[in-house]
């Protein structure tokens, strides 16, 4: 209907929350432990800021790249840039990447839920509800996802702020001092982990073409990376401030433990962890759905299928992928692997592709 079409564009706000939502998924809960493990000093937050700046640059390049092809997704313009077959092959690899990513998020929800909220409920039951809802949302297209992001992500950010404020009850600044006591080396060493923790930023390549004002892509990048960076740094500082580096390393979900560590006797609810975990589940739901949708988008663009069919084909695959990692440590290894792929592929690819695109447009005058 004509009336509907007019609205089918992402506003700048929706794109921003989509961008944040795709980055801040399950990583946030484990990030403090991972960086503490590699860095072993309290200064790891500096390393996060450095990688954040790096990703601001990469994302800016992605925006530049996407601006060259304003009406197309990455799946379409990569075929134009490097040839149809190579483009399709890379597209399918990307589909696999997003599928694994989605499976990783699903498994994280399963682990956290069965550990903290629902002991004894079978995995498939937890997953099926989650997957069906995600299917329902993704069938509504990027616009529906964008609007859900606009609802869920701000709630999540508020909850994070609350957690950080609660963490101040446990905070001991001695755990964080002195800054740079062992020189810059540990900070640089930690880059190995922190550079991998911004996976999800690549969704920029797929959402910019849907924006109402594609010119504001840079704004999205600036605010998106900024907000993500702020909460990453805050979560690390609060966790380390609460438990010290040694304490953080021993906890599976240090950030969850921050909430569990505080007993708020003055509130109606004594412990907020279940409440905040539920909000976190909504956030992971968003991250999962974005990956799932992008994978389905790839299948539909490369194999020329309707998106609903692609969603249905991928549904059992995501579920099986989420069952694959054996234990929780393997799951975290998958997360690291995903970060590595995201870092290597998208950083290199977007720079190279931008060069190709510029060279082409220069040659064609």
Q: How far apart are CA 219 and CA 212, in angstroms?
A: 13
Q: Does 363 bind other proteins (CB under 8 A)?
A: no
Site map 78..117 versus other proteins, x via CB under 8 A: -----------------------------------x---x
Q: Does 361 bind other proteins (CB under 8 A)?
A: no
Give the nearest distance from C-beta 5 to other proteins in angstroms.
9
By beta-carbon proximity to other proteins, the closer residue of 58 and 142 is 142
Give the nearest distance from C-beta 251 to other proteins in angstroms.
19
Of the candidate residues 93, 133, 168, 355, the single one contacting other proteins (CB under 8 A)? 133
By beta-carbon proximity to other proteins, the closer residue of 179 and 324 is 324
Q: Does 174 bind other proteins (CB under 8 A)?
A: no
Structure-token match 């755990």, residue found: 175
**12, 220 contact by CB (below 8 A):** yes
Nearest Cα to 18, choosing from 220, 213, 212, 229? 220
**256, 273 contact by CB (below 8 A):** yes
Task: Tell me how many residues contact other proteins (CB under 8 A).
Answer: 62
Beta bridge partners of 211: 10
DSSP string covering 237-266, please? HHHHHHHHHHHHHH-SSHHHHHHHH---TT
By beta-carbon proximity to other proteins, the closer residue of 70 and 140 is 140
Structure-token match 């903290």, residue found: 116
Give the nearest distance from C-beta 227 to other proteins in angstroms.
16
By beta-carbon proximity to other proteins, the closer residue of 28 and 148 is 148
Q: Does 53 bind other proteins (CB under 8 A)?
A: no
Of the candidate residues 70, 132, 180, 188, the single one contacting other proteins (CB under 8 A)? 132
By beta-carbon proximity to other proteins, the closer residue of 82 and 282 is 282
**67, 208 contact by CB (below 8 A):** yes
**251, 30 contact by CB (below 8 A):** no
Mapping DSSP to helix (H, G, I), strand (E, B) and coil, where does residue 10 land? strand
By beta-carbon proximity to other proteins, the closer residue of 18 and 66 is 18
**44, 187 contact by CB (below 8 A):** yes
User: What secondary structure letter does DSSP report for 178?
Assistant: S
Nearest Cα to 101, choosing from 280, 314, 350? 314
Give the nearest distance from C-beta 22 to other proteins in angstroms.
17
Q: Which residues from 263-292 bind other proteins, rule CB under 8 A?
A: 265, 268-271, 274-275, 278, 281-282, 285
Q: Which residues from 307-326 bind other proteins, rule CB under 8 A?
A: 308, 312, 315-316, 319-320, 323-326
Q: Label residues 309-344 b or e (16+ Cβ within 10 Å = b).
A: ebbeebbeebbebbeebeebeebbebbbebbebbbe
Q: Does 125 bind other proteins (CB under 8 A)?
A: yes
* Chain contacts with other proteins (rule: CB under 8 A): 1-4, 6-7, 11, 13-14, 113, 117-118, 121, 124-133, 135-137, 140, 144, 146-148, 150-152, 265, 268-271, 274-275, 278, 281-282, 285, 308, 312, 315-316, 319-320, 323-327, 330, 333-334, 336-337, 340
């Amino acid at each position: 209907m004509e009336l509907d079409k007019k609205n089918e564009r992402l506003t700048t706000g929706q794109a921003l929350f989509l961008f944040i939502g795709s980055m801040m998924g399950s990583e946030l809960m484990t990030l403090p432990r991972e960086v503490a493990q590699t860095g072993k000093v309290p200064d790891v937050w500096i390393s996060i800021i450095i990688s954040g700046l790096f990703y601001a640059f990469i994302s800016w390049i992605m925006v530049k790249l996407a601006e060259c092809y304003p009406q197309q997704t990455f799946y379409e313009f990569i075929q134009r840039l490097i040839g149809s077959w190579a483009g399709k092959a890379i597209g399918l690899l990307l589909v696999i990447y997003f599928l694994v990513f989605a499976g990783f998020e699903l498994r994280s929800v399963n682990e956290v839920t069965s550990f903290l909220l629902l002991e004894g409920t079978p995995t498939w039951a937890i997953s099926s509800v989650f997957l069906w809802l995600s299917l329902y949302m993704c069938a509504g297209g990027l616009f529906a996802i964008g609007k859900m992001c606009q609802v869920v992500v701000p709630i999540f950010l508020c909850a994070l702020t609350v957690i950080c404020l609660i963490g101040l009850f446990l905070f001991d600044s001695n755990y964080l001092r002195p800054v740079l006591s062992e020189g810059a080396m540990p900070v640089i060493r930690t880059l190995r982990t922190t550079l991998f923790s911004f996976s999800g930023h690549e969704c920029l390549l797929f959402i910019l073409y849907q924006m109402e004002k594609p010119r504001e892509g840079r704004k999205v990048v600036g605010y998106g990376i900024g907000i993500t960076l702020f909460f990453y740094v805050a979560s690390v500082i609060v966790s380390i401030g609460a438990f010290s580096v040694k304490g953080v390393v021993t906890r599976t979900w240090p950030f969850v433990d921050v909430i569990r560590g505080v007993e708020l006797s003055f509130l109606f609810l004594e412990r907020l962890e279940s409440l905040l975990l539920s909000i976190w589940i909504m956030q992971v739901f968003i991250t999962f759905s974005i990956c799932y949708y992008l994978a389905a988008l790839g299948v539909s663009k490369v194999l020329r299928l309707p998106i609903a069919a692609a969603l249905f084909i991928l549904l059992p695959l995501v579920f099986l992928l989420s069952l694959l990692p054996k234990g929780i440590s393997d799951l975290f290894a998958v997360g690291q692997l995903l970060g590595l792929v995201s870092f290597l592929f998208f950083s290199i690819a977007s720079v190279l592709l931008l060069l190709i695109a510029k060279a082409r447009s220069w040659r064609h005058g």
